Amino acid sequence: MSTRRGVLDAARVVVKIGSSSLTSATGGIDPERISALVDALAGLRGRGAEVVLVSSGAIAAGLAPLSLPRRPRDLATQQAAASVGQGLLVHRYTEEFARHQVAVGQVLLTVDDVTRRSHYRNAYRTFAKLLELGVVPIVNENDTVATSEIRFGDNDRLAALVAHLVHADLLLLLSDVDGLYDGHPDQDGTSLLSDVGSTSDLDGVDVGRPGRAGIGTGGMVTKVEAARIATGAGIPVVLTSAAQAAAALAGEPVGTMFHPTGRRRPTRLLWLAHATEPKGSIVLDPGAVRAVVERRASLLPAGITGVTGSFVGGDPVDLVDPDGTPVARGLVNYDSEELPGLIGRSTHDLARELGSSYEREVVHRDDLALLTD
């Protein structure tokens, strides 16, 4: 399904709308824009497709009630604004979807919810049940509890990971610009790219920051990154403006289509590679790099030459080659304080000397995502 007409066959679609497409010129949430978006999504559901909406705009919706003139810079005030705005935003969606006799459900996610094994299964089950019940899940980052360390900040990558989590057939990214341009669209002479088939198609493209100061967060950087995550996992992406949502969903050649470059992978590992911040690094010798990257083997103490950072068992860490280049990210089975004593030693010796619990891998292959894919 990687042609425009193929969009019409998508049975499950994740649609992401950015703050810049939901706000009026004065900065607050624009009810007319929400109404137009909901009409387009109701049309999509009308032809039998399931819809998951990832909507930004909580912070923007919270500005006016708190008399804040612009988007605050500090995290605590952003979180307060999101706390006030999220309810108002979902209330608007609830009313607009009710015009089409459709119920909505709020889903707030943090990175942890989908990288920890037990949590991501739970998140998947919730989405599956909501969709089975005919509900439109409305997703946002759980801004009020996400600390700066684990925060996405933008919703573009979150949307790509949600698309993968729910096994979507299409990701539609809606912004205030009608597609990806080869330079900042405010500049003369730049033109729209209608298709991106591989990362080399982006060579020479000036992927820039947001336009209208203070509204959007990631600009094109996070959208292109989101497209890379989704297409790398086999999901086609269309990027266009909210005004062209209905045309894009009708398979018309609007915006930019990013074609799939890879195939589906286990969800949790995709999140591990793209949504976690490593707590430290483990340096591998060349043999261990080959074992992990080429043979997809678990990492054993014998292949380690160094450890940096402070972490405990279960934390994400980067596995780096002798030059310091990250080759994989994994969930480590030991604390950083324990590892130096194990470096370079065989599991057999360690088990004999320290007990059978030291037979465990440093990182098990099931908890490893290659960064070289």
Ligand X SMILES: N[C@@H](CCC(=O)OP(=O)(O)O)C(=O)O
Site string for ligand X, 170-209 (x = CB under 6 A): ----------------------------------------
State yes or no: residue 318 binds ligand ADP (CB under 6 A): no
Determine the Cα–Cα distance for residues 337 and 310; give it in Å rounded to an integer: 8
State yes or no: residue 220 binds ligand ADP (CB under 6 A): yes
Among 79, 110, 217, 298, binds ligand X (CB under 6 A): 217
Determine the Cα–Cα distance for residues 1 and 192; give it in Å rounded to an integer: 22
Q: Tell me the one-letter amino acid at 32.
A: E
Give the single-character DSSP code of 299.
B
Give residues 20-49 in contact with ligand ADP (rule: CB under 6 A): 20-21
State yes or no: residue 155 binds ligand X (CB under 6 A): yes
> Could you give the 3-state DSSP secondary structure of residue 270?
helix
Nearer to ligand X, 72 or 218 (CB): 218
Q: Tell me the one-letter amino acid at 124.
A: Y
192 binds, among ligand ADP, ligand X, none (CB under 5 to 8 A by kind): none
Quickly list H helices, the chain: 19-22, 31-46, 58-63, 75-98, 111-115, 117-132, 156-165, 219-232, 245-249, 267-275, 286-293, 347-354
Applying CB under 6 A, the span of 93-101, 127-135, 214-222, 272-280 interacting with ligand X comes to 214-222
* Measured CA distances, 136 to 33, 90, 139, 174, 250 (Å): 18, 11, 9, 17, 19
State yes or no: residue 44 binds ligand X (CB under 6 A): no
State yes or no: residue 78 binds ligand ADP (CB under 6 A): no
Among 177, 249, 332, 369, binds ligand ADP (CB under 6 A): 177
- Burial label, 43 (beta-carbon count in 10 A; 0-12, 13-18, 19+): middle
Nearer to ligand X, 218 or 236 (CB): 218
1 annotated ligand binder: no
For tokens 């018309």, name the residue: 252
Determine the Cα–Cα distance for residues 292 and 277; give it in Å rounded to an integer: 20
241 binds, among ligand ADP, ligand X, none (CB under 5 to 8 A by kind): none
94 annotated ligand binder: no
Among 62, 210, 232, 301, binds ligand ADP (CB under 6 A): 210
Identify the H or E element spanning 175: strand 170-175
Cα angle, residue 5 at apex, residues 9 and 139 outer, rounded to 5°: 55
Among 23, 79, 115, 140, binds ligand X (CB under 6 A): 140
373 annotated ligand binder: no
Binding residues for substrate: 56, 143, 155
List residues binding ligand ADP (CB under 6 A): 18-21, 175-177, 180-181, 183-185, 206-211, 215-220
List residues binding ligand X (CB under 6 A): 18-20, 56-60, 82, 140-141, 143, 154-156, 216-218
Binding residues for ATP: 16, 175-176, 217-223
